[in-house]
Amino acid sequence: MTDFPYTFTFLRHGESIGNAEERFQGQSDFPLTDTGRAQAQVLAERWLRDGVKFDLAVTSSLVRAKETAEIVTSILKIPLEIDPTWVERDNGELSGLTRNEVEERFPRPEFITPYDSFGESGEGDWELYLRAGKAVHELIKRPAGKYLIVTHGGLLNKVMYAILGIPVQANSNGPSFRFENTGFVTFQYVPPRHQWRMIRFESPA
């Protein structure tokens, strides 16, 4: 076994129609744009040239992530598994709305605890953090290997919190990790020492 038996690359999907229209996507199922498909292809072809290897890809069941994963895995010739644990935050009544619509219909409360629902009926920060932690926990139950996980920006932020040991705070304070479309982060992990090492964080301009 190598010093770091696990390598996890967490990848945000390519540009979706919801991204292009500046919508609060949440679990609304927007497909990729042509730009998003091109982004996924460019990244996969670069990884192919660079000799990047994965044993398995795991993707959110939402179409924007699934389509990204299918493009990447078809080029890299790796198996793909769909896992709904990796879907984006349920953002409740905000789902699918534009930024202007959200500002008009749902003014931001003066104070938000981590336990409050997001968008009146969706996942609050604490609930999302717990799901992210569970998703990471399930990954390290798998055999040692190199895994690609294709998912979403909101969930990825809480994955970063779970891995780095950052507490969830009121008013969504604390660090924010910006993953542009097809941005990714790669970690290595040693279970017996509970040792995480971030080896790359890349977010295209």
Q: Tell me the catalytic residues.
A: 13, 88
Query: How is the beta sheet containing 80-82 ordered, strand by strand?
Result: 80-82, 56-59, 145-151, 6-12, 184-190, 195-202
Asked whether the beta carbons of 146 and 53 are under 8 A apart, the reply is: yes
200: its two tokens: 């790359």
Rounded to 5°, angle at Cα 157 from 150 and 136: 60
DSSP alpha helices (H): ranges in the chain? 17-20, 34-50, 63-76, 99-105, 125-139, 153-164
Q: How far apart are CA 205 and CA 75, in angstroms?
A: 23
10: its two tokens: 């967490």
Q: Which residue has the tokens 């479309």?
A: 181
Which amino acid is present at 83? Answer: D
